[in-house]
Amino acid sequence: MATQVFDFLPFDTSTQIAYLSLLLGIGLLLVLLKVKPMPATAKSASFGMVLFVLGLLTWVYYQAQNANVTVRDGQLELNIPLYGTQLPLASLTLAEARIIDLGDSDTSELFYRSNGVALVEYRLGWFKLKDERFGSDKALLNVTGSRHILMIPTSEGYLLILSVTQPEALLAALSAPTL
């Protein structure tokens, strides 16, 4: 089977503006810490922590622009910031996979983020769902919108919820027989 790569949907304008504003705000906080009179130890510790958060969020933003899903050698590779993983295709419950809109009444609602990032339309990481309608109340998300999202149950005890540019093509690639 040939390697197939599927890109994630890019951020929409409001998410881009919100994310860049967040980075700018953290950068301004660094300037404030630099000029604010504080004990040297407190200033160094505060500056270091804020600088770390700024670096981490900048890296997540950069990596999110290049995130993709790769299907090769009987594996699904999620190349996403912080939560990248590989799953054997055999662990995907493809018979129950579907393309959903997150706001529909027949779709489980996201209940809360247990570990991840959520900013406007961008959701990345581990989330809890309100119910176990699709076999689990845990989901690994990389979503940049709420419409035309691919949901794949796994035998690992969680769902994959992904907003790729071609969800039908990805589902077809996953379902194709391997030689």
Per-residue pLDDT of 107-138, as tens digits, reads 666 677 889 988 888 999 999 888 777 678 89
3-state secondary structure 39-102: CHHHHHHHHHHHHHHHHHHHHHHHHHHCCEEEEECCEEEEECCCCCEEEEHHHECHHHCEEECC
Q: What is the pLDDT of residue 178?
A: 62
What contacts 122, CB < 8 A, 6 or more positions away?
Answer: 11, 15, 19, 64, 143, 144
The pTM (predicted TM-score) of the whole model is 0.88
14: helix, coil or strand? helix
Per-residue pLDDT of 61-109, as tens digits, reads 999 999 999 999 999 999 999 999 999 999 999 999 999 887 775 566 6
- Span 162-178, mean pLDDT? 91
- Span 139-153, mean pLDDT? 92
Structure tokens at 78: 């999620």
- Span 19-24, mean pLDDT? 96
Mean pLDDT score across all residues of the chain: 90
- Span 15-34, mean pLDDT? 95
